[in-house]
Structure 1
Amino acid sequence: MSGARLGFFTRLLDAGTDGEQYRAALAQVRAAEEHGFASAWVAQHHFDRDEGGLPSPFPFLAAAAVQTERIALGTGIVTLPIDDPVRVSEDAAFVDALSGGRVQLGIGTGGTPHPSPRSSARRTTVAICRPPTSRWCATRSRGAASVAPICA
């Protein structure tokens, strides 16, 4: 694709029940693809409904993957200190395979400061890389976690 590329981002803050919010956001992703947007990004938020309504982006992105054909699907961001990086890696790889390689994985250490049950947990080092079936590698070490693309 040449020229400017436009992306779409949502925190799922529309009024309604959780199900209504999820269905409205999926409709927005479909409309974004129909109107030529290059990517759709969703925010992950825990502990505060006013910040966003999506605690787990991968089931949402899986639903978007089967309802779209071209638009890239991104996380903006997955909060690794409170998620299991191995699970993040596997979920990202699953949605990436389902979507035909359209996942763009955004990760970070967090957003709005909130105490979380896992923020100070000590972890042992674990690394999981499964090429060629996965494009992602998850690493966990004491006090830190990361997910990185696998470079071939």
Structure 2
Amino acid sequence: MPRRGEPLRKLGFLTIGRFDPANPGPGMEETLRTIERAEALGYDSVWLRDRHLQPGISSPVAIMAAASQRTSRIELGTAVIPLGLENPFRLAEDLATVDILSGGRINPGVSVGTPMLYDHYKTALYPEAHDTQDFSKERVLRLLRALRGEPVSDFAGTVGVEQFTDRIQPHSPGLADRVWYGGGLESARWAGEQGINYLTSSVVSTQGTSGETPSTDFATIQGEQIDAYRAHHPRPETARVSQGLVVIPTDSATDDQARRYREYAASRFERTTAPQGPRRMLFSPDYVGTSDELADRLFDHAGFQRADEVAFALPFTFGADDYAQIIDDIAENLGPRLGWQPRM
């Protein structure tokens, strides 16, 4: 757990992989080149958003497959795949295939619940069964059972000249141990009980926070959720926790870039002052400043103090030059100040 003088174990970043809907190819190529650049800079991981019906990555498994053939070391994760839009059987086949192609570098992050805007496309997704879908955590367990090689069929044998097994093929040993789950306090406890890894992000739910008066301090809530996860994990010493905040270093930024970054953070600050919506979601402030300033703020952050690794989120609306500057500064300036060593 990184405090001053202690090493940050792993450093990564998270990208939405934006593209122009009228010409998506260049944007997808930019994402792949960004992953290649990250490996050259020594990053431990790159994480992909999963966005449906938006001009961003809708198939992170396909992007990971392409990236696996252009890199050799860096870990490739998803943050997160909403399982409500997936069949765990088929997703397990795809994940295992890409994990083998990558040499065991895939980190599938998943979530459950009714998909966003589900009523608008449910008949296209599940024409006959849209009102009977089970969006509970059982969907995660189905995926885990398939990835672990547990039987998914009651038949194994030969039909004519074709061989059939009762387990997902291919099987990638160890992949199930690299599954991640994200969510609030109840989800943190559940992920710990299941022995899977835990993803945190720049938004938390204040529901279920301890104390007579629920806290509205983001870092306090995130720290509480990580503590709950570890307390419920059967092997807390092996449990992995990743923190994902919007962190924007300005060390090599131009004056124009630094101004836009601060304006971006200021435009989003109001939502961080109080819980939002029926689920009382609380957003983290965006962190903008020099690497020295950012390191001071992170070392004082209760969530950062409890995480094993970080995957800083790239803002959705910035350009390619901005992303390149941010990625370079995180690797070359902020990372070392956090006790991180690049992998080469």
Q: 1:114, 1:83 → 2: CA distance?
A: 15
Seen in structure 2, the aligned counterparts of structure 1 residues 114 and 98 have a Cα distance that, compared at 3 Å, is same
Tell me the residue number matched to 1:21. 27
Q: 2:171 aligns with which of 126, 133, 142?
A: 133
Alpha carbons of structure 1 residues 87 and 112: separation in structure 2 relative to 1, 3 Å: closer
Shift of 1:15: 4.9
Q: Which amino acid aligns with 1:89?
A: A
After TM superposition, the structure 1 = structure 2 runs for residues 23-102 of structure 1, keeping only pairs within 5 Å, are 23-49=29-55, 53-102=56-105
2: CA distance between counterparts of 1:110 and 1:25?
28
CA deviations on 1:14-46 (whole Å, 9 max, x unpaired) are: 557211111000000000000010001101111
Structure 2 residues without counterparts, runs of 5 or longer: 1-5, 151-169, 178-194, 197-344
**Any idea what the Cα deviations from partners look like across 1:75-110, whole Å, max 9, x if unmatched?**
111110111111111111111111111001100126
Q: Give the aligned residue type for 2:83.
A: L
**How far is 1:112 from its partner?**
7.7
Seen in structure 2, the aligned counterparts of structure 1 residues 99 and 113 have a Cα distance that, compared at 3 Å, is same
Distance 2:16 2:115 in 1: 13
1:122–1:111 CA distance, 2 compared to 1 (3 A): closer
Contact 1:93–1:136 at 8 Å: present in 2 too? Answer: no
Residue 57 of structure 2 aligns with an amino acid whose one-letter code is L
2:144 matches 1:122: no
Question: Across the two proteins, how many residue pairs are aligned to each other?
Answer: 134
Residues 19, 28 of structure 2: 8 Å contact kept: no
Contact 1:47/1:114, CA 8 A, preserved across alignment: no
Structure 1 Cα separation of the partners of residues 46 and 13 of structure 2: 5
> After the TM superposition, which of the residue ranges 114-123 and 65-74 deviates more from structure 2?
114-123
SS at match of 1:26: helix
RCO comparison, higher one (Cα < 8 Å, 6+): 2
Q: Deviation of residue 121 (structure 1)? A: 3.8
Contact 1:66–1:99 (CA<8 Å) still a contact in 2? yes
Q: How far 1:48 moved relative to its partner? A: 2.9
- For residues 110 and 19 of structure 1, the distance between their equivalents in structure 2, rounded to whole angstroms, comes to 31
The one-character-per-residue Cα deviations of 1:104-150 (angstroms, maximum 9, x if unpaired) are 11001269831242464436x9763527923349xxxxxxxxxx97x
Q: 1:6 aligns with which of 5, 8, 11?
A: 11
Highest CA radius of gyration, 1 or 2?
A: 2
SS at match of 1:60: helix
Secondary structure in 2 matching 1:7: strand
Residue 133 of structure 1: SS of its match in structure 2?
A: coil
Name the CA distance, whole Å, in 1 between partners of 2:12 and 2:90.
Answer: 26
Alignment RMSD: 3.0
The answer to whether the 8 A contact 2:52-2:58 is kept is yes
Alpha-carbon contact 1:12-1:22 (below 8 Å) kept: yes
Unaligned runs of 5+ in 1: 138-147
Q: By how many angstroms is 1:3 displaced? A: 3.2
Distance 1:120 1:107 in 2: 22
